[in-house]
Structure 1
């Protein structure tokens, strides 16, 4: 797919590739297809001139957009391995991750570097933090505009035939070679990183392309709204311009109205914020990276979308399954229906009920560990009679109450009644008198939609709560649920702390 994109960008260089929105939502061309191809050429030449060769690792701390995509295209062409660095991880975590990845060079834009220097007070408000780049143990080069205090700029080389993959020359094509490292979890002392090979990365993008129908000639040229790498590459490869979603919900709503994208990919928090700002949709809407309830998908359809899809995906295997709003809403069993495994994906529960996945798009291994064929998702799940995946909650989120194991994900979907924005079940220490050590109270934390009245929500929740049997929560609290991480998933630890504080205050 990346090889195809590299050639496709040059076929119609005058066409728009990446779009952004102004405050009024009006579309601006951030980069044409030709400009994106030229920038990838320049990065490849510059990296090659610095002596980087196939198999070397390059750390990448560049904000999403044309520049980041051009860097990744250049790395792909040269056979380099990219280690994706998140400035929001904090300096200690980043140092540990860099020590594990061992990059020969770190590419960082001015914004990423500024948070470690003169802009640290501003960066702390944005929850960004990089260590002093001079202490990383690897040379650093600035890409894009260089500001005071930044590392020397990466010299952008001119296109020349000596650069591998340049022009019509083939790029490095060893499918077993590492392509990208993505850090997902782990402690400061022991970071955890997913390693995708060129083959698994290509298979994942091909799967996304098939799911989106990106190759449909009738849809070529229609804009796509989304900012993830897996959305950008297939869309651009098949001729569609991609618009980066506006950060402000109000501007995003105006952007959707003006752009009228054929396909929209937003995370569940982005969808909730956009709906709250009165957004209207067109065509198909896709969401993932965090749980998406049937209620949320139905709201998206009610706001004009022809179809609303929830995509079940992991960093280790993207995508794994998908389900449309109407199918999800029709499901009445326990748990969270996420759809049938996509073509090429094999799914099975292990002896403890944890979901295992395998397929061509699955990661090769975790950095520093041996390859393994099955991805252990950490999700409890089952396959229903139609062969569809039904999630029953994260194993680590289990709540122990009166010697009974309760998995929140099995019951949380039922709490998303009309008027509920988000709902989670969390365990808090039961305190004195608990029947056994570690016994917990089960609390439902419910976030209402704007304008939803609490008495009406309590009445609407009475039925679902009554059907939860022995898993019925000990308390129901209404509050805004804390979110965490770049994907803004519910922060269960913070939610449990909030619930415990609220209950202490009501005693």
Structure 2
């Protein structure tokens, strides 16, 4: 990594960088288009649709696209599989606007299915592979999915819900007991077979940039997930946003940005998150990069893959970086190919930023976004990150940020804390079948994020708190009310609150504070098992703290979580 932190850095201001990169005729040139009647700055050269991005990738030919164990899928083979599956979907009667649920781990089949659905104008509904059967069932019903495509693990987990949905067709991959489901392998073969499929074109479907492309579910403060409706433009914006962020790093150093080049990425972020899909998968496809898959994170395996595949970039959440840095056998592996480790979605210690640079000779990267912004709005990397390790970065050129007062109207001056609002072509249009919540969250092209933040005079964002009580554990969002609702359903619990306590590698962990009814009994293991039976494992509190009195509340009856955090975070620090 080039050194540029000495005298004379930065070589260009953020405004100068923006003017240079977005000049007429430049790769990152912008144009203004009307989205739902609202004038919006967009990337002029962004792919028009998922189908357009996939069609362009066909030109990568035999370059390796996906690697999983001994499977190596080329771009050409991937395109053949997408075209074949797209044809089968059309034959099933799936078409424009139909929702197709996708539930599987990070397998080569995931991006293939994703592109096949998007290429025919249908709406892909990626489901969290870690969800419980009840959570998966809710999303299937809420989205009105006309078809489910899943892996064997998800099929087994959904056995009971699917018995109540006899009319829902199912296609399954990697399953020894498909039951009523059609095996994907019987339609297009396994990944090793895709190269032998016919070299067919995609079905010809007219897709506009602002047509709906996907529904990504994000946990809601009401206890049930909300489906954010993403357009093709939303998803494709990250292709240029990622490139812009990388070029900005070069200009800040005083270097000429190179032409986009293929990378080798160790992919440990789930594709079913917008970060894994829009901010990682799609930009990697656009550059003809190779994606090395790990369906389940293992630090030792990751070190071996970095050495074997000459991985140049990885990351996802701070946990990944910490485990690589602190692995006892790290020195035994050749990690010299690593150029960057980027992450987001969880707080990170400033020491992590410095150690990525000093111990791995890689550039640290971070950013801010949310499901409602299709991931990336701000980015922070290399020297800018080293200078501001507590920042979430600066917005890409097509995005605007504002810090507003509680009235949602008054813009606050730089350095002042308030609610963060964001707008740009990456902001989704609303929630699926949630008109009231959509109207409250999306206002005139802006999304009110619920995050409390400040912006400095150079435009760098600093997140101070999350107004929506989100606990982010290793990149996974845990909404307090969802877990609290489950705890309240236990017959012994009369008061419950979920708080986040700091964790060095995961960022935060959930701890529940409960008060039991008089004469009732329950221990921590019982309550944890009660939650585990109803929610995904990552949402289960790592500890239960019991209070002999009701939880503290303010005059309006709201539990004072700040007091609980002060008490129990201090307690944890004292006993660590």
Report the TM-score when normalising by structure 2. Answer: 0.62
Contact 2:58/2:75 (8 A) holds in 1: yes
Query: Aligned to 1:359, which of 398, 421, 424?
Result: 424
The corresponding residue for 2:176 is 147
Partners of 2:540 and 2:325 lie apart in 1 by 18
Per the alignment, in what secondary structure is the counterpart of residue 428 of structure 2? coil
RMSD, aligned CA: 3.9
Q: Which runs of no fewer than 5 residues in structure 2 stay unpaired?
A: 1-46, 190-198, 249-256, 269-275, 407-417, 473-479, 481-494, 507-531, 546-563
Query: Aligned to 1:68, which of 100, 110, 117?
Result: 110
The corresponding residue for 2:207 is 173
Q: Deviations over 1:43-71 (max 9, x none)?
A: 10111111111111111112223211011
The corresponding residue for 2:398 is 344
The corresponding residue for 1:220 is 261
Partners of 1:212 and 1:20 lie apart in 2 by 27
The corresponding residue for 2:378 is 321
The corresponding residue for 1:240 is 289
Per the alignment, in what secondary structure is the counterpart of residue 301 of structure 2? helix
Question: Could you say if the C-alpha distance between residues 138 and 350 of structure 1 is closer, same or farther in structure 2, counting changes exceeding 3 Å?
Answer: farther
The corresponding residue for 2:92 is 50
* Pairing 1:112-261 to 2, within 5 Å after superposition: 112-116=154-158, 131-136=160-165, 138-153=167-182, 156=187, 167=201, 170-186=204-220, 190-212=224-246, 220-227=261-268, 228-230=276-278, 231-245=280-294, 247-261=297-311
The alpha carbon displacement at 1:447 in A equals 4.3
The corresponding residue for 1:284 is 340
Partners of 2:323 and 2:362 lie apart in 1 by 20
The corresponding residue for 2:320 is 270
Contact 2:314/2:341 (8 A) holds in 1: yes
The answer on 1:393 being equivalent to 2:465 is: yes
Contact 1:20/1:244 (8 A) holds in 2: yes
Per the alignment, in what secondary structure is the counterpart of residue 255 of structure 1? helix
Question: Could you say if the C-alpha distance between residues 213 and 143 of structure 1 is closer, same or farther in structure 2, counting changes exceeding 3 Å?
Answer: farther
The corresponding residue for 1:302 is 358
Q: Deviations over 1:29-88 (max 9, x none)?
A: 431222211211121011111111111111111222321101111111110011111242
Contact 2:86/2:202 (8 A) holds in 1: no
The alpha carbon displacement at 1:387 in A equals 1.6
The alpha carbon displacement at 1:307 in A equals 1.4
Per the alignment, in what secondary structure is the counterpart of residue 70 of structure 1? helix
The corresponding residue for 1:82 is 124
The corresponding residue for 1:125 is none
Contact 2:103/2:129 (8 A) holds in 1: yes
Partners of 2:370 and 2:64 lie apart in 1 by 30
The answer on 1:15 being equivalent to 2:63 is: yes
The alpha carbon displacement at 1:341 in A equals 1.2
Q: Deviations over 1:450-496 (max 9, x none)?
A: xxxxxxxxxxxxxxxxxxxxxxxxxxxxxxxxxx9999799799797
Partners of 2:282 and 2:301 lie apart in 1 by 25
Question: Could you say if the C-alpha distance between residues 104 and 90 of structure 1 is closer, same or farther in structure 2, counting changes exceeding 3 Å?
Answer: same
Partners of 1:84 and 1:136 lie apart in 2 by 19
Report the TM-score when normalising by structure 1. Answer: 0.70
Q: Deviations over 1:409-457 (max 9, x none)?
A: 9xxxxxxxxxxxxxxxx9xxxxxxxxxxx9x9x99756499xxxxxxxx
Q: Which runs of no fewer than 5 residues in structure 1 stay unpaired?
A: 22-27, 118-130, 159-164, 399-407, 410-425, 427-437, 450-483
Q: Deviations over 1:96-131 (max 9, x none)?
A: 2222211111111212112345xxxxxxxxxxxxx4
Partners of 1:270 and 1:136 lie apart in 2 by 38
Partners of 1:186 and 1:444 lie apart in 2 by 21
The alpha carbon displacement at 1:223 in A equals 1.7
Contact 2:356/2:362 (8 A) holds in 1: no
